[in-house]
Amino acid sequence: MNEFISQSLTLPSGLTLANPIVKAAMEENLAEANRLPGPPLFRLYEQWAQGGAGLLITGNVMIDRLAMTGPGGVALEAGSDLEPFKNWARCVHTKGGKIVMQINHPGRQVFAKMGGKAWSASDVPLSMGKHSGLFAKPRAMSETDIQEVIERFSVTAWRAEQAGFDGVQIHAAHGYLLAQFLSPLTNVRQDRWGGSLENRARLLLEVIKAVKQSVSPEFSLSVKLNSADFQRGGFDVKDAKAVIAMLNDMGMDFIELSGGSYEAPAMQGRSADDRTLAREAYFLEFATQMLDVARMPLMTTGGITQRATAAAVLASGVSLVGIASALAQTPDLPVRWLQDEYASPVPKADFRDKTLSGLATMAMVRRQLRRMSDGKLPKRQIGPLFSLITDQLRLARLTRRYRRAL
C-alpha cells in the first residue's frame, strides 16, 4: 500500500508538504570557493526536488565562515551575497518542492588543518584514540562568544527567509556546538550555561527565541536533537524528553530525532555504549519514547531504505520519515515507492578501523552526490577504498583553498 506517501501534511506553521517523506541533511562539500552555493548544488537539489520527497533539508549551512565542519561547506552570514541562496531555493520551488535550510555551528568538531575557530562549552577535546589529533583543541566560550553565536543563528535564519527558503532547522545534534552545551560530557561549566539540564539547554532555547524574533510567524522552524549521545554518561533519552518538553510551547514545526557524534557515530549505525543499532529505522525506538511528551510533530532518520519501514515509522505515530544515504543512492526513491516496494541499497565500509570505516562510508555518499551535482545518476556499485582515497585528496585540495581564503 502506498497511501502514506501520497498523503499531504500541514505543519504547525502552515507549511504544507505533499507527503511525509523528508530528505534529511547530508554534508555535500559542494560550495563555491567563496562558500556560497552554486551550480553543482543547484543540479543536485533539482534531482531531489524531482524525486518526490515532501521536504528537502539542506546539508549544514554554517553561521560563521571561520567555523566550518569541513572544506567545501556553505556559510550564510550578514555580509553574504544572497543571490546564490535565492537561486538555491528557486531551483527546488520551480520543481514543486519545499526546502528548509539546516543551520549550524560545529563547536569543537573542527578539523585542525582547517584553522579558524574551535569553540565549545568547555575546553574538552575530542577523544578518538589515535585519530584525536585530527581535531583542534577547543576553547571554552566566553559570555561574549555565546552572545555572538546567538546573534549569528538569528541573522542566518533571517537571511534564509529573505532568500526564499521555507524554513530553517537548528542543528542541536551529532556533537556540534549546541549538542556540546547539552551534553554533561562536554559541558562542565559552572555558570548559567552549565550544570543542570535547564542550564545546559539554555543556549538552544536562547537561539530559538532569537530566531523566532527575526523571522515571520509562517517561517518553518525545527530542531534536530539527539535522542541520545550513545556514550556512557552523556545526553540520554530522559534528557531528550525533558528538552522536548521545554520546546513544546516554542512554536516548533517539528523535532527531528537522531543520535551520536563524531566520537560515537550512531547516525551511521554505530554506538559507543553497546546499544545495538543494526536494524533499519534504528532511531525509531527512541523516537516513540518521545511521543507521550511531544506536542509537535516528530521526525526520525536513520538507515531507512524500504517503503515498508517508512510505513512502519508513520504507523508508530511519528509524523515525518527522514531519509539520507538512500537518497544519495536513489534520488527518486519516493517516486519509486509510489509504484512499487523498492529497497535502495546503501553501501557501507567495514574496515577494521571504525573511524576509517566511517570516513569511507561518508566518502561513498559524497561520491554519489558529486555525480548527481554533475548531472549524472549515482553508480550502482562503488568501492569504499577508492572512494576514501579520492575523497581525502579532494578534501585536501578544498582545505588548501579554504586556508588561502582565510
What nine digits make up the cell of 78? 550578514
Residue 213: other Cβ atoms inside 10 A: 10
Would you say the C-alpha torsion 193, 198, 200, 205 has a positive or negative sign?
Answer: negative
- Give the cell for residue 160: 534564509
> All 3 cell numbers of residue 347?
553501501
Q: What percent of the chain has pLDDT over 70?
A: 94
- What is residue 271's predicted lDDT score, i.e. its pLDDT? 45
Mean pLDDT over 41-46 rounds to 98
Can you identify the CATH homologous superfamily of domain 3-344? Aldolase class I (3.20.20.70)
Do 65 and 77 contact (CB within 8 A), yes or no?
yes
Q: Say if CB 51 and CB 44 are below 8 A apart.
A: no
User: Across the chain, what does the average pLDDT equal?
Assistant: 91
Here the cell at position 132 is 584525536
What percent of the chain shows pLDDT beyond 90?
Answer: 74
- Tell whether the model's pLDDT for residue 381 goes beyond 90: no
Average pLDDT over residues 197-209: 98
Is residue 115 a contact partner of residue 90, using CB atoms and an 8 Å limit? no
C-alpha closest to that of 257 among 326, 348, 184, 169: 169
Give the C-alpha separation, 350 to 384, whole Å: 9
Instruction: Taking residues 217-226, report their average pLDDT.
Output: 97
The predicted pLDDT at position 2 comes to 59
Reply yes or no on whether the pLDDT at 29 is more than 60. yes
Specify whether the CB–CB gap between 337 and 110 falls below 8 A: no
Q: What is the largest CA-CA distance in the chain?
A: 56
The CA distance from 344 to 327, in Å, is: 8
Residue written as grid cell 557515530: 265
C-alpha 93: how far from its chain's center? Answer: 21
Q: Cβ distance 396 to 402 under 8 Å? A: no
At 298, list the grid cell.
516528530
- Could you tell me which of 270, 340, 267 has the C-alpha nearest to residue 304? 267
pTM for this one? 0.94
H, E, C per residue of the chain: CCHHHHCCEECCCCCEECCCEEECCCCCCCCCCCCCCCHHHHHHHHHHHHCCCCEEECCCEECCCCCCCCCCCEECCCCCCCHHHHHHHHHHHCCCCCEEEEEECCCCCCEHHHCCCCEECCCCCCCCHHHHHHECCCEECCHHHHHHHHHHHHHHHHHHHHCCCCEEEEEECCCCHHHHHHCCCCCCCCCCCCCCHHHHCHHHHHHHHHHHHHCCCCCEEEEEEECCCCCCCCCCHHHHHHHHHHHCCCCCCEEEEECCCCCCCHHHCCCCCCCCCCCCCCCHHHHHCCCCCCCCCEEEECCCCCHHHHHHHHHCCCCEEEECHHHHHCCCHHHHHHHCCCCCCCCCCCCCCHHHHHHHHHHHHHHHHHHHHCCCCCCCCCCHHHHHHHHHHHHHHHHHHHHHHC
Averaged pLDDT, 330-343: 86
Name residue 16's beta-bridge partners. Answer: 10
Contact 114, 402 (CB under 8 A): yes
pLDDT exceeds 70 at position 211: yes
Dihedral of alpha carbons 98, 281, 284, 388, sign:
negative
**Position 276, amino acid:** T
The answer on pLDDT for 4 being more than 70 is no
Average pLDDT over residues 137-141: 96
Q: Where along the chain do its domains lie?
A: 3-344
In this structure, what C-alpha cell is assigned to residue 333?
526513491
CA atoms within 13 A on the CB side of 87: 13
Amino acid identity of 120? S
- 223, pLDDT greater than 90: yes
Instruction: Quick: pLDDT tens for 148-200.
Output: 999 999 999 999 999 999 999 999 999 999 999 999 999 999 999 999 999 99
Q: Chain-centre distance of CA 368, in angstroms?
A: 18
Do the beta carbons of residue 258 and residue 22 sit within 8 Å? Answer: no
Q: pLDDT per residue over 240-294, tens digit each?
A: 999 999 999 999 999 999 887 787 665 555 544 444 445 667 788 888 899 999 9
Q: Higher model confidence: residue 78 or residue 231? A: 78
Which pLDDT value is given to residue 166?
98
